[in-house]
Amino acid sequence: MIKTIERYCACISPSGSEDEIREQIIGDIKNHATSWEVDETGNLTVFKKGAKASGLKILFSAHMDEIGFMIKYISDEGYLYFDLIGGIDRRVVAGRRVVIGGNRITGVIASKAIHLQKPDEKGICVPISEMYIDIGCTDKESASGCVSVGDIAVFKPNFEHFGDGLIKSKAIDDRFGCAVLVELIKRELPYDTYFAFVTCEEVGTDGAKQVGYRLKPDIAVVFESTTAGDIADAPKSRYACSLRSGPVLSHMDGGTIYDKALLQYIKNVAEENNIEYQIKNVIAGGNDSSAYQKSGIGTRVAVISAPTRYIHSANNVVAETDLESIRELASALLERGFINA
């Protein structure tokens, strides 16, 4: 699974441009799925026939898109001005390498040099509107030969193992979730199950809205990343979750109050299988659960998250043990088929 995550993280697929990652996933599941289809908004929906039907329409979901940038202007000097795709803290942007467009042009995000800054500008994080991407061109004509307004960019792929069982990369949010679902599709399942690889989560959960309306699942479990707070000087009351402490389960976030009985069911399954888990202790953020809960028939929802340091940056950091535990929990849930959930 880790090799699959690495391959998926290398894809250039921000919100609205998920073609590359979707084709990778289709290649991985097409010989294992009972059926699959791509809808008008780019969502990939997969059905896997199990040994029997549970009487419930169960959906496991992960989003394909990542945060990124869109080119909005090319200057006479050949610099590219851009805006954000998804929620990105501008403090993590300057100085980063990016890959732009289908030609995978390499660029560096830059801003006014410190020796040119006025006294009141020093120490202040530069607004995105004042940053630009340097692709090494000398004028607008040469830059326009490489890049066009409307082209997308993402942080340069940088998957790496480091430290004590950790991984860092751009786009682990949510390529790890996609990899977990693919691993499950490749198995023989005890119960019929639907899987969704959705678009545009980072800009408003738009893909999940379409899938929820069309499929109308009884239960949807979303696999996601969530912000880990076990970093220097952070108070434990604001950790949200920690690396190496297992899958993260939530009572509530910024978009969803989760089904209490379903949450308890997942906790019970984890405990029966000796899978360590943790409860998110900060009410913040959001994911595709809110879209599923509000669409179709009022789907019961739960989220299983990977604790992730430095989320929505060029270097998401996760623990391999947490990812393996999430896969184990997902498998245990499918074995039970959510009977009496």
Catalytic residue IDs: 201
Using CB atoms within 10 A of its CB, is residue 232 exposed (0-12), middle (13-18) or buried (19+)? exposed
Distance CA 91, CA 171 (A): 18
Peptide bond into 174 cis (omega under 30): yes
- Polymer length in residues for the chain: 341
Q: Give, to the nearest 10 degrees, the angle between helix 172-185 and helix 320-336.
A: 40
| Residue found by looking up tokens 């660029």 in the block | 107
Q: Residue 277: exposed, middle, or buried by beta-carbon count in 10 A (0-12, 13-18, 19+)?
A: buried
Give residue 18's identity as a one-letter amino acid code.
E
User: In the beta sheet, which residues pair with residue 132?
Assistant: 110
Residue the block writes with tokens 């795709």: 85
